[in-house]
Amino acid sequence: MFASYACQSSEHLLARRQFLGTLAAGTGAVVGGLNAFTQPAMAQELAAQQMRMIVFNMHGGLSQLESWDPKPATNTGGPFRAIATSVPGVHISELLPLTAKQMHHMAIVRSVDTTEDDHGKGAYMMLHGRRQTPASDYPTLGAVTAKALCPEKSALPGHVIVQPSGGGSRSNDASYLGPKYASLVVGGQPPANTARPDGLTPEMDQARQTFRKQLDDQFFARRRTARTEAYTYSYEQAQQLLAERDVFDVTKESDKEFERYGKHDLGRQCLLARRLIERGINFVQVTHSNYDSHNENFIFHLEQLGEFDRPFSTLIGDLHDRGLLKNTLVVVLSEFGRTPNINTYYGRDHWSRAWSVLMGGAKIQPGAVIGKTNENGTQVVDRKVDHANLFHTYLRAVGVNTSKSFLVDGRDLPIADPASAGINELIA
């Protein structure tokens, strides 16, 4: 859903490069066959062991008062009631009745204070765990998760972003971790250029690949660098995507599943996210936008969360029923919340001083509520946390030791902000 009254900042516009055209552009990959990791038995074993993460990016700024921290019957509360959930004593907005039934799997952090009301800067902080500076750039949560969790020779990418317009392009959001861990953007169809042309038989294609490998071996015998290894890895991963392309095809799911999730973009995105997680992809990000409700905040959240509630709650239930939630962290975040104050256009503006994030699964303590805001939601009064604390917590929930570093080009680069730490009481 698009809000024509949003603030229209440039950060809402994305430019993506084509996947196969840029896959080989970076460094730091490895040489080696990938076939073993596409065999069913191996894939099932990996899927049983791997930790995973799904992030819902409620782009534009989800209102905490219309979702996870309602304040009914106050001067800031708005028209909606708070309803009971499956966790005794915990209430959320009546706009999320189906999600309320799944809250025993989830936890709420109601004391987020990031002190950044700019869309671009706020989004960067929440997805990178650090503030953006001119002097440095950091990999996103998805890239870090893929680097930490993805099998070294996996045929499938470890970092996928699902959005309606996704066509298989590869972004540059992995920073110094290299393009191997950058996001692949998909929308429910296999990535472009992963189907073998009709005029090229499997035998002809194999002959081409054998000849290419012979030339690579001759070249490597004289000159081997990280960049040449990256090219080789890129070709091999692209070749394996030919066999694995149906993983990204959500149309392989039954009509019954589409009915359960909803026959709209977000329903298809959630169903695809489940499909990807089931097949061992380590990080999936789903984007639902635009929550930038400066005007008509209540009407817009009624519509937007009405669309979100069903597929999200269905996904949580399915992950639990299939035994995947114990190994899958699910996070619902935004770049900030909305102002407690209701403006003259019945909207809420940008607000980063007291808002909420939802998470559950993996090692998160189910049913927990961390932190508290005051009676009308204008400030945090207990257990204040920020973007860096959350970043540590997400990674720790999937088993990553965030006190460690990645070794990149001979340098130790901290996995997360070393000046911060996770929310210990949230980790089971």
Torsion of CA 41, 45, 48, 52, to 10 degrees: -100
Mean pLDDT of 43-72: 86
For residue 166, the domain's CATH number is 3.40.720
pLDDT band at 226 (very low <50, low <70, confident <90, very high): low
Q: Is residue 54 helix, strand or coil?
A: strand
Q: What pLDDT was estimated at residue 4?
A: 46
> Which range, 131-135, 244-248, 270-274, is most confident?
270-274
d(CA 386, CA 369): 16
d(CA 400, CA 411): 19
Q: What pLDDT was estimated at residue 195?
A: 64
Q: Is residue 155 part of a domain?
A: yes
d(CA 355, CA 223): 54
Is the preceding peptide bond at 290 cis, omega within 30 degrees of 0?
yes
Per-residue pLDDT of 22-52, as tens digits, reads: 333 333 333 333 333 344 443 454 455 689 9
Cα 264 from chain centre: 19
pLDDT band at 384 (very low <50, low <70, confident <90, very high): very high
Q: Is residue 249 part of a domain?
A: yes
Q: Specify the pTM.
A: 0.84
Q: Is residue 4 part of a domain?
A: no
d(CA 101, CA 245): 35
The pLDDT of residue 337 is above 60: yes
Q: Is residue 311 part of a domain?
A: yes
Domain extent at residue 213? 10-426
pLDDT band at 221 (very low <50, low <70, confident <90, very high): confident
Per-residue pLDDT of 239-262, as tens digits, reads: 666 667 788 899 999 999 999 999
Q: Is residue 318 part of a domain?
A: yes
β-pair partners for 351: 337
Per-residue pLDDT of 147-175, as tens digits, reads: 999 987 787 889 999 988 765 567 789 99
d(CA 270, CA 289): 14
Q: Is residue 41 part of a domain?
A: yes
Q: Is residue 250 part of a domain?
A: yes
Q: Is residue 367 part of a domain?
A: yes
Per-residue pLDDT of 176-203, as tens digits, reads: 998 889 998 998 766 665 666 777 787 8
Distances (CA, A) of 387 to 141, 356, 378: 11, 11, 19
The pLDDT of residue 328 is above 50: yes
Number of folded domains that form the chain: 1
The pLDDT of residue 314 is above 90: yes
Q: Give the phi and the psi of residue 407 in degrees, each rounded to 5.
A: -90, 110
Mean pLDDT of 13-22: 36
d(CA 95, CA 291): 14
